[in-house]
Structure 1
Amino acid sequence: MLSVALPKGRIAEQTLEIFSKIFGSEFKFEDRKLIMTKGEFKFLMVRNQDIPTYITEGAADIGVVGLDVLEEHRCDVLRLLDLGLGRCKVCIGIKENQRLDYSKPELKIATKMPNITKNYFDQKGIAVKIIKLYGSIELAPLVGLSDAIVDIVETGTTMRQNGLKVAEEIMTSSAHLIANKNSFITKRDEILSLYHQINSIIQN
C-alpha cells in the first residue's frame, strides 16, 4: 500500500481528480476525515507546510506540495514530477506609491518564507532584516513594520486591495509530486507506475 500526503484544499481535490481518472472510481475524502483508504492507497490530509516532514520522516511514501514549500524547507526528498497545479509566484510586495530602495543599509522584509527571502537578497548582496510572520503579511509595510514583504501571489488582488504592488518576482511555484527516498527504493515499481500514469493524465 502506498501512503499519499495531500495538502488541504484545492490542490488535494485536483490531485484526487487525477486519481479518479486513472482508476475509474471516485477518490474523495469524507467531510472532516483526515485519512482515506481506497484500494492500494492510503491518503493523508495534511497541512501544506507539514507535508515535507511527513515525507522525510517516512510517515507517507509520496506527497504533493508546492515548490515554494520545498525550497523554503530545503527538504531531503525526491522531486518526481511538476503537476502544474496551483500555479503562483513568490513576489516582493511594497506600498503602491513607493519603490524598493536598495540604497538603504538594511531592508526590513516581512515574510513567512525566511529562507527563500534570505537566499534571494543574499544573491543580490543586499543586507536584510527578516521579520517572520505567520499571516496578514500585507499589513506589515502599511504600519511601518517592514519596508516590503515576500509572499505568495496568485492574482495580485489581495495586494492591490491592501494598497500594495509587486516590485519583483522571486520564483514561480506549482504543486510537485515528491517521494520519500527509502520508499522509492522499497516501493519503486508502485511509485514509478503511479508516476507514469499521473504524467500521462497531466500531459493530455
Structure 2
Amino acid sequence: MSTLKLGIPKGSLQNATINLFEKSGWKINVNDRSYFPDINDETIACSICRAQEMSRYVESGTIDAGLTGKDWIEENESDVVVVDDLVYSKVSANPARWVLAVPADSDIRRLEDLEGKKIATELVNFTRRFFEQHGINVKVSFSWGATEAKVVSGLADAIVEVTETGSTIRAHGLKIIHELMQTNTRFIANREAYADPWKRAKIEQIILLLKGALRAERLVGLKMNLPLDKKETVIALLPSLNAPTIAGLHNTDWVSVETVVDTRAVRDLIPRLLQAGAQGIIEYNLNKVI
C-alpha cells in the first residue's frame, strides 16, 4: 500500500493546522513525546517539524509534502513544488507580514537611514538579500526569539519581525517603517513525490478538502420560513453561492428558504429579513464548502 509522508508544522501553526485537518475529515492525534502523530488515514504518515525547516525536509524527500510559510521557502531557497496557497493562521485569515521596526523615538524613518546599522531577525538570508537588492549596507544577525528585546537592550538598531496585527511590536515601544514581505501558509511537495500519480492524487484530495474547510469558515447557512407573498422581497435580500433553495411547507401558503451567506453579513442581514417577513430564522455552521 502506498503512503504519503506528510509534514505538520510545529509551533504557532500546529493547532490551527490540526483543527483545519479535523474539519476536512482527518483526525490527527499529537503525543507530546512523539514527533509522529497518529492520523485516521492508513495511507498517510504524519511527522511534526518546525515550519522553518519544513521546506528543507520536503526538498530532500524526507517528507513527501507539508505545510509551511512562503517566508521559510524563500529563506531556505528550497527547490520544492508550491502546490497551493492556504490562507490561514494562528490569529486571523489575513497574511502575516515581515516588517522592519525601530524604536518609536528613533531617527530612522527610511530604509536608507539604516546604512551601516545592525538588524536582528530570524529571517537572516531573506533580509540580507533584501538590503543587498536595495544597495544598503547593513549587518544582519540571527535572533531566535524575543527579537523585539534586541532593540530595547541596544543589541540592534532595528529588527525584521513577523506580525499579523502589529500589536506586539507597538506594545514593545517600536514602530513599523517598512513592510518587506507578506506571507501565508503554502502546501508544498517534493518534486519526485509530486510526479508520482498516486501521491499527486492524494495531495490533490487533501488540498480540495482543506480549501473546502477554509471556505466554510467564512460562510454560514441560513434557513427561514416566510409567507409565499413575501418570497420575492426576502429573496432580493439574500446573497448566495448560486440561488437560495425554496421548498413549500405542507398544507400552507408558506415556504422554507435556505441559503449560504458570508459570516460578516449575518448581523446586518437577520434584522432586515425579519422586517421583510421571515420567521424562525436558523443560523448554522458549515464544515466544508466545495
- TM-score, with length taken from structure 1: 0.89
Report SS of the residue matched to 1:200.
helix
1:76 aligns with 2:79: yes
1:95 aligns with 2:91: no
CA distance 1:104–1:95, change in 2 (3 Å): closer
2-structure distance, mates of 1:31, 1:144: 37
Give the equivalent residue in structure 2 for 1:30.
31
1:167 aligns with 2:177: yes
Give the equivalent residue in structure 2 for 1:17.
19
1:149 aligns with 2:159: yes
Could you say which structure has the greater relative contact order, defined with CA pairs below 8 angstroms and 6 or more residues apart?
Answer: 1
2-structure distance, mates of 1:37, 1:166: 42
Residue 93 (structure 1) shift? 0.7
CA contact (8 A) 1:89 1:152 kept: yes
- TM-score, with length taken from structure 2: 0.64
Letter in 1 for 2:191: K
CA deviations over 1:171-199 (Å, ceiling 9, x no partner): 11111111111110122222223223323
Residue 105 (structure 1) shift? 4.3
Residue 84 (structure 1) shift? 0.7
CA distance 1:29–1:163, change in 2 (3 Å): same
Q: Map of 1:63-142 to 2, 5 A cutoff? A: 63-86=66-89, 87-98=95-106, 99-100=108-109, 102-103=112-113, 105-142=115-152
Letter in 1 for 2:163: V
Report SS of the residue matched to 2:73.
helix
CA distance 1:201–1:167, change in 2 (3 Å): same
Give the equivalent residue in structure 2 for 1:199.
211
CA contact (8 A) 2:82 2:187 kept: yes
Give the equivalent residue in structure 1 for 2:190.
180
2-structure distance, mates of 1:111, 1:105: 17
RMSD: 2.0
Q: Which runs of 5+ in 1 are unaligned?
A: none
Q: Which runs of 5+ in 2 are unaligned?
A: 90-94, 217-290
Letter in 2 for 1:115: N
Give the equivalent residue in structure 1 for 2:240.
none
CA deviations over 1:9-43 (Å, ceiling 9, x no partner): 442322223332333x6333234331124322111
Report SS of the residue matched to 1:35.
coil
Residue 122 (structure 1) shift? 2.2
CA distance 1:93–1:51, change in 2 (3 Å): same
2-structure distance, mates of 1:17, 1:71: 26
Letter in 1 for 2:99: C
Which moved further from structure 2: 6-15 or 175-184? 6-15
Residue 67 (structure 1) shift? 1.2
1-structure distance, mates of 2:183, 2:152: 26
2-structure distance, mates of 1:188, 1:103: 48
Letter in 2 for 1:76: D
CA deviations over 1:125-144 (Å, ceiling 9, x no partner): 21111122222211222233
1:50 aligns with 2:48: no
CA distance 1:166–1:103, change in 2 (3 Å): closer
1:2 aligns with 2:12: no
Letter in 1 for 2:4: L
Q: Percent identity?
A: 29
